Amino acid sequence: MDNLIVTQEQLKEVVDRKVADQLRTMHPVNNPSPARGLVSVKADHDSRRDQARVVADYILAKHQGREGQAEDIARAANNKYITRANFNTGTSAQGGAAVPQFWVEEIMSFADQFGYTRALAKIYPMRGKTENLVSSGAFTGAVVAEGSGLTLTDSSSFFTATAMTARKLVAGAIVSEEQLQDATPAFLDYVVNGLGRALAETEDKQFFNGDGNSPNFTGITGLAGTTVVRQGGSNSSGKDTFGEISWTDLWNLRLGVNSGVGANGVFVVPQSVFGFLMKETGGSRPIFDMIRPIEIASIGLTALQGNSYFTPTGRPMHVVPDSLFPTSAANTASAFYADFNQFTVMGVREDVTVNEYKEYFGATGLGGTHQKGIEVVERVSFAFPAPSAIGVLKTSTT
């Protein structure tokens, strides 16, 4: 066998990246904002006004069919606001168009801030429509006796692959001509914020609760092979609503996931379930009385800031909006426990395109209304290479 040579730098990079990944999951908190004075605010405002003008001109040029001009505006903006050279934007010939990159990156940056999935899952830059992830295989270690060879083959478990296929997500908005003509920083912020949030929310809904019916992804709730634990300990416990959840169910969920893969796990619950857990009392004291708020000093993403708590089980809990989970019912997922950074993957294709519609957008006719529909398109995918490493707490069937 050839010796594989790894330099110290390469090894350090891998270790550093792994540590950063781990920290992100363990202490997902936001960077504090720097102090802001009038000078920096004014400079920032002027720069934003300039950027807002660029975006408005760009959309107007596209609207009037002046593709060449739109492309020139995008390219001039890209030269002015130095952006990543390798951001892989489609060209006109590919059906897309050059896009002012600062705008796209801001939208993506907002999606990063608001997306729970982006904060929790392992982010995987995709090189094509489909990536095959190695999903299972046997890794064994052994002590080798003197003069003997090692036996590492586990005949029962060979490597298999999970295909991760990108699908299109879109976020859109209808804007009026006046808004574009009077482009202001506030308008730009509002549109960027809105598109970023819409993309992030769509991703989150698919990641947690996608039903697998085309064109939806299969999210964690619809995933086969997860480790399922029931509220009340059995499928006939009578605990068939979210309101009957107990912190002992959290213990059962944590312990239900194999300890080898659940070691760095975190809980994810919807807001309503968190409410029921917070209000639960043991004797006359609230169960959560003893918890301390999660430390706000490390790295992470805004989505989880202020939404993360330590639980009596010793593992962190992230609280997400109710809209990302199914509604309370019998035989329904009420909480997840997993090492998300290890066992859930979000693939991101870096092509982002912007489309513009003048006659009809979504279900709204725009003809003669002096409004335009703008749409941002991204391609992402989700994969769960080892479903059994994901614990799902479900309400009882009866």
Partner 1 sequence: MLVDVILIEPYKGVSAGFETSLPAAIAEALIKQGKAKDSKPAPKVETKKIGK
Q: Which of 309/384 has CB closer to partner 1?
A: 384
Site string for partner 1, 250-269 (x = CB under 8 A): ------x-x--x--------
Size of the site for partner 1 (CB under 8 A): 23
198 alpha carbon, distance to own chain's centre:
12
Cβ 279 vs Cβ 270: under 8 Å:
no
Whole-number Cα distances in Å, 323 to 7, 205, 241, 256, 380: 47, 7, 17, 26, 20
- Looking at residues 21 to 80 of the shown chain, list those that interact with partner 1 (rule: CB under 8 A): none
Residues 293-352 that bind partner 1 (CB under 8 A): 331
CA distances (Å), origin 291, targets 294, 295, 355? 9, 12, 48
84 close to 105: Cβ distance less than 8 angstroms: yes
**With contact defined as beta carbons under 8 Å apart, do 344 and 329 qualify?**
no
User: What character string, x for contact with partner 1 (CB under 8 A) and - otherwise, covers 140-179?
Assistant: ----------------------------------------
Which residue among 62, 205, 230, 372 contacts partner 1 (CB under 8 A)? Answer: 230
Q: How far is the CB of 393 from partner 1 (least distance, A)?
A: 11
Indicate which single residue of 69, 83, 136, 193 sits in contact with partner 1 (rule: CB under 8 A). 136
* Phi, psi angles (nearest 5°) of residue 376: -110, 135
Tokens of 364: 């709204």
> CB-wise, 196 or 391, nearer to partner 1?
391
Stretch that binds partner 1, among 233-241, 320-328, 352-360, 368-376 (CB under 8 A): 233-241
* Among residues 4, 93, 145, 224, the one that binds partner 1 under rule CB under 8 A: 224
C-alpha to C-alpha distance for 247 and 288, rounded to whole angstroms? 9
From the CB of 287, what's the least distance to partner 1, in Å? Answer: 25
Minimal distance in Å, beta carbon 383 to partner 1? 16
Residue nearer to partner 1 on the CB measure, 194 or 233:
233
**Token pair of 318 as six digits:** 């992230």
Asked if 132 touches partner 1 (CB under 8 A), the answer is no
Contact 236, 398 (CB under 8 A): yes
DSSP bridge partners of 230: 394
Phi then psi for residue 52, to 5 deg, are -60, -40
| Contacts to partner 1 by CB under 8 A | 136, 222-230, 234-236, 256, 258, 261, 331, 386-389, 397-398
